Amino acid sequence: MNQEYEMVIGLEVHCELKTQSKIFCACPTSFGAQPNTHCCPVCLGMPGALPSLNREAVRLAARAGIALNCEIHTHSQMDRKNYFYPDMPKAYQITQFTYPLCTCGWLEIEGEDGKKRIGITRIHIEEDAGKMIHTPHGSLIDYNRCGVPLIEIVSEPDLRSAQEAKAYVQKLRSILTAAGVSDCKMQEGSLRVDVNLSVRKKGDLSLGVRTEMKNLNSVQFMGKAIEFEAQRQVGVLESGAAVFQETRRYNEETGRTEIMRRKEEAEDYRYFPDPDLQVVYLSREEIEQIAGEMPQLPDERLCYYQEKYGLPAQDAGLLSQNLSVSRCFEQAACHSKYPKIAANILIANWLPFFDFSGEEEFPQLWEQLSSLADLFGDARLNSGTVKNLAVRIWKTGEDPKTIAQRENLWQIQDEAALLPIIQNVLAECPRAVQDYHCGRQQALGPLMGQVIRRTSGRADPQIVRRLLIEILARNGEKENLGG
């Protein structure tokens, strides 16, 4: 993008709450059921059906607010947002408009110049709509998702790049999953992002005209959509034209954003308080109780790993941001004598295979990990073997002890067994021995390599090294004496 410009981005993130039942009826919320099987008169908007608020949804929303440093209001209100669309059988969505449950929060991301705090304007509770499926023979509607509880998290326009927006969504996901508020699975639609974006000349204090991009369902596409749209807006401004306030959609195939509707076409939702529902009340005690039940959040875990296991900040950071990674590490750490080794094995050998922005859970191989750490810590396996085993275990989930036993991978520490091998190597590599005696310490490396290779990688490198040095020193003395 043109270096004179900067982006101003605010995000609206919709996130499904992890309740058993829907927000206004007892229908289940589980994903993937046969279409239109999780429905009742309430979520189908039958005449005479009435909503009754699922308190668990309110508690989870409050928990999200607490995790995001928001003020939680004891009194909030459900409103009706009126519009016609076939996926909304009542022709209104029950949401919170005037008095949301949470306001004034923030979260911290790793920005381009260090830590950056992103403001959260509000979090409100609402119900999800059904899903339209368009076929050549007409449109079909699945109402299973109708009435699934959502929170909408609205950020301040504090983000300045696609990178920051991506970091924000990642951080949000990591906090909300850790807090047990949501699964945040973008592929299943349990987390969806709307982007509000404008551009301005750097140094300008006023905001440019913004466009809104709706329903981005992957972090990658969101990043691309932001890059494209910012580029487009700069192009428009540079050509002397004006950006219009409008709603756009991102076309994943063309990589471009397309207009959906102009501001003038925007609907009047005629918000008003839903007369079927009482004011949502959470007492101060309840809010405190919810805060007290909060599971450990990523940044708290980071500090905890540093303190408890003595991990460096960067390692603690890698292990704390994804709940399933943390779970695997913590289990291994508390079952192993060597938590720090477990951390190193996991970070060095497994994390490179794990996609943090994806939706797959990190495999819970903690038993294997703790055993591997112990075998290494107790010098039963050497580091090369551990590396090999770690990669194999990632693929197969096998038990390290079983493999080591079967394939006889145990480390050789018996000096009597190692001495003849070392003698042979020294005899066969006069050149390296010569170099060593001339003062080139690094000649030790190839010699060690040879010894370890001849033990199929099983020789304990520490012992090999010590023995090599001892023998070479003795041989050197002999030579000196002899000469």
Q: Which residue has the tokens 């094995």?
A: 345
Is residue 53 part of the contact set for another protein (CB under 8 A)?
yes
Quote the least distance from Cβ 266 to another protein, whole Å: 10
For another protein, the binding residue among 1, 44, 209, 444 (CB under 8 A) is 44
The residues facing 10 across adjacent strands are 196
**Where does this chain touch another protein (CB under 8 A) — which range of 11-19, 174-182, 265-273, 334-342?**
265-273
Is residue 35 part of the contact set for another protein (CB under 8 A)?
no
Is residue 90 part of the contact set for another protein (CB under 8 A)?
yes
Tell me if residue 283 falls in helix, strand or coil: coil
**Where does this chain touch another protein (CB under 8 A) — which range of 77-85, 313-321, 437-445, 474-482?**
77-85
CB nearer to another protein: give 92 or 338.
Answer: 92
Quote the least distance from Cβ 282 to another protein, whole Å: 16
CB nearer to another protein: give 85 or 244.
Answer: 85
Burial class from Cβ neighbours inside 10 Å (0-12, 13-18, 19+) for residue 34 reads: exposed
Quote the least distance from Cβ 89 to another protein, whole Å: 5
DSSP 300: H
Q: Are 179 and 173 in contact (CB under 8 A)?
A: no
Q: Which residue has the tokens 């291994």?
A: 332
Is residue 111 part of the contact set for another protein (CB under 8 A)?
no
Produce one character per residue of 149-174: b if its CB has 16 or more CB atoms within 10 Å, e if not.
bbbbbbbebbbbbbbbbbbbbbbbbb
Is residue 82 part of the contact set for another protein (CB under 8 A)?
yes
Quote the least distance from Cβ 376 to another protein, whole Å: 58
Is residue 268 part of the contact set for another protein (CB under 8 A)?
yes
Quote the least distance from Cβ 147 to another protein, whole Å: 14
**Where does this chain touch another protein (CB under 8 A) — which range of 51-59, 240-248, 293-301, 439-447?**
51-59
| CB atoms near residue 188 (< 10 Å) | 14
Nearest CA to 59 out of 278, 282, 297 is that of 282
CB nearer to another protein: give 270 or 440.
Answer: 270
Is residue 91 part of the contact set for another protein (CB under 8 A)?
yes
Q: Which residue has the tokens 């308190």?
A: 55
Q: Are 476 and 437 in contact (CB under 8 A)?
A: yes
Q: Strand 5-16 relative to strand 191-201: parallel, antiparallel, unpaired?
A: antiparallel
| CB atoms near residue 26 (< 10 Å) | 12
Output the six-digit token pair for 158: 């504090």
CB nearer to another protein: give 80 or 166.
Answer: 80
Binding-site size for another protein (CB under 8 A) equals: 30
Is residue 49 part of the contact set for another protein (CB under 8 A)?
yes
For another protein, the binding residue among 10, 65, 89, 149 (CB under 8 A) is 89
Amino acid at 348: A
Q: Alpha-carbon distance 452 to 411, whole Å?
A: 10
User: Would you tell me which residues interact with another protein (CB under 8 A)?
Assistant: 41, 44-53, 80, 82, 84-86, 89-92, 141, 143, 268, 270-272, 275-278
